[in-house]
Amino acid sequence: MVHVIARMEIKPGCMEKFLEVLLNNVPTVLAEEGCHRYESCFDTKEETKGKFVTILESWESEEHLKAHLATPHMAKFREAVKDLRFGSNVTVVTPIVK
Protein backbone atom coordinates (compact mmCIF):
# COMPACT_ATOMS: atom_id res chain seq x y z
CA MET A 1 0.00 0.00 0.00
CA VAL A 2 1.21 3.50 -0.82
CA HIS A 3 -0.36 6.79 0.17
CA VAL A 4 -0.05 10.08 -1.66
CA ILE A 5 -0.43 13.58 -0.28
CA ALA A 6 -0.74 15.97 -3.23
CA ARG A 7 -0.99 19.61 -2.16
CA MET A 8 -1.70 22.34 -4.70
CA GLU A 9 -1.73 26.11 -4.30
CA ILE A 10 -4.54 27.48 -6.44
CA LYS A 11 -4.17 30.86 -8.15
CA PRO A 12 -6.50 33.65 -6.96
CA GLY A 13 -9.86 33.53 -8.73
CA CYS A 14 -9.25 30.01 -10.08
CA MET A 15 -10.62 27.79 -7.29
CA GLU A 16 -14.08 27.31 -8.82
CA LYS A 17 -12.73 26.20 -12.19
CA PHE A 18 -10.05 24.04 -10.54
CA LEU A 19 -12.67 22.24 -8.44
CA GLU A 20 -14.86 21.69 -11.49
CA VAL A 21 -12.01 19.95 -13.32
CA LEU A 22 -10.90 18.01 -10.24
CA LEU A 23 -14.32 16.79 -9.16
CA ASN A 24 -15.21 15.69 -12.69
CA ASN A 25 -12.06 13.52 -12.66
CA VAL A 26 -12.61 11.90 -9.25
CA PRO A 27 -15.06 9.12 -10.31
CA THR A 28 -12.70 8.03 -13.09
CA VAL A 29 -9.77 7.84 -10.68
CA LEU A 30 -11.79 5.95 -8.07
CA ALA A 31 -12.71 3.37 -10.73
CA GLU A 32 -9.04 2.65 -11.48
CA GLU A 33 -7.60 -0.70 -10.51
CA GLY A 34 -5.77 -0.46 -7.20
CA CYS A 35 -7.33 2.83 -6.05
CA HIS A 36 -8.55 2.67 -2.45
CA ARG A 37 -8.89 6.39 -1.77
CA TYR A 38 -8.90 9.64 -3.72
CA GLU A 39 -10.20 12.37 -1.45
CA SER A 40 -10.06 16.13 -2.04
CA CYS A 41 -9.63 18.35 1.02
CA PHE A 42 -9.50 22.05 1.94
CA ASP A 43 -7.28 23.65 4.58
CA THR A 44 -8.96 24.54 7.85
CA LYS A 45 -6.42 27.18 8.95
CA GLU A 46 -7.82 30.66 8.33
CA GLU A 47 -4.64 31.99 6.72
CA THR A 48 -4.58 29.25 4.05
CA LYS A 49 -8.30 28.51 3.70
CA GLY A 50 -9.41 28.88 0.08
CA LYS A 51 -5.83 28.87 -1.25
CA PHE A 52 -4.91 25.19 -1.26
CA VAL A 53 -6.42 21.84 -2.23
CA THR A 54 -4.91 18.64 -0.89
CA ILE A 55 -5.69 15.26 -2.42
CA LEU A 56 -5.24 12.21 -0.20
CA GLU A 57 -4.76 9.01 -2.18
CA SER A 58 -4.24 5.36 -1.30
CA TRP A 59 -3.06 2.82 -3.87
CA GLU A 60 -2.66 -0.93 -3.69
CA SER A 61 0.96 -0.66 -4.83
CA GLU A 62 3.50 1.70 -6.32
CA GLU A 63 2.84 0.04 -9.68
CA HIS A 64 -0.85 1.00 -9.45
CA LEU A 65 0.16 4.59 -8.66
CA LYS A 66 2.53 4.68 -11.63
CA ALA A 67 -0.21 3.31 -13.90
CA HIS A 68 -2.59 5.98 -12.57
CA LEU A 69 -0.13 8.77 -13.32
CA ALA A 70 0.26 7.48 -16.89
CA THR A 71 -3.47 7.40 -17.72
CA PRO A 72 -4.88 9.68 -20.42
CA HIS A 73 -7.38 11.21 -17.98
CA MET A 74 -4.55 12.31 -15.66
CA ALA A 75 -2.66 13.85 -18.58
CA LYS A 76 -5.85 15.68 -19.49
CA PHE A 77 -6.29 16.79 -15.84
CA ARG A 78 -2.74 18.13 -15.62
CA GLU A 79 -3.20 20.06 -18.86
CA ALA A 80 -6.57 21.48 -17.73
CA VAL A 81 -5.26 22.77 -14.38
CA LYS A 82 -1.75 23.90 -15.34
CA ASP A 83 -2.77 27.58 -15.51
CA LEU A 84 -5.06 27.36 -12.46
CA ARG A 85 -2.42 26.49 -9.87
CA PHE A 86 1.01 27.72 -8.92
CA GLY A 87 2.22 24.15 -8.65
CA SER A 88 1.98 21.06 -6.53
CA ASN A 89 3.93 19.27 -3.86
CA VAL A 90 3.53 15.49 -3.91
CA THR A 91 4.64 13.18 -1.12
CA VAL A 92 4.41 9.38 -1.43
CA VAL A 93 4.60 7.34 1.77
CA THR A 94 4.16 3.73 2.77
CA PRO A 95 3.07 2.32 6.14
CA ILE A 96 5.70 1.12 8.57
CA VAL A 97 5.20 -2.61 9.02
CA LYS A 98 6.69 -4.55 11.93
Q: What is the pTM of this model?
A: 0.91
Q: Mean pLDDT for each 10-residue chunk of the chain (98 residues)?
A: 97 97 98 98 90 97 98 97 96 93
Give the type of residue at 53.
Answer: V
Given the DSSP bridges, would you call strands 35-42 and 52-59 parallel, antiparallel or unpaired?
antiparallel
CB 12 within 8 A of CB 52: no
Q: Sketch the domain layout of the chain as residue ranges.
A: 2-92
Query: Closest Cα partner for 16 from 74, 78, 81?
Result: 81
Domain 2-92: give its CATH architecture. 2-Layer Sandwich (3.30)
